[in-house]
Amino acid sequence: MKKSILNDVITIDNEIQHGKPVLKGTRLPISVIIGSLAGGMTYEEVIQEYAVTREQILASLAYFSELLNYETVYSMEKVG
């Protein structure tokens, strides 16, 4: 999904949900969408539960994927 499409679907505004990424025109953080899918909900269940579209779900996943590209991840294993 291209960034321009992400900008059309996801917004960040300090006045909405303390600046967390949300679906544009809502107060629904994309973390709720990602968490629901991670918790085992299907796309159809998420669509029904939160009144979102498949495009909004895919944009949330794409945003999260892009975000991970900028994260530094460290092993949680103890060394030595």
Map residue 12 onto helix, strand or coil: coil
Q: Of the given ranges (18-22, 60-64, 67-71), which has the lowest mean pLDDT?
A: 67-71
Residue 38 has pLDDT above 80, yes or no: yes
Quote the pTM value.
Answer: 0.80
> Read out DSSP for 25-42?
TS--BHHHHHHHHHTT--
Q: Phi and psi of 22, rounded to 5°?
A: -130, 165
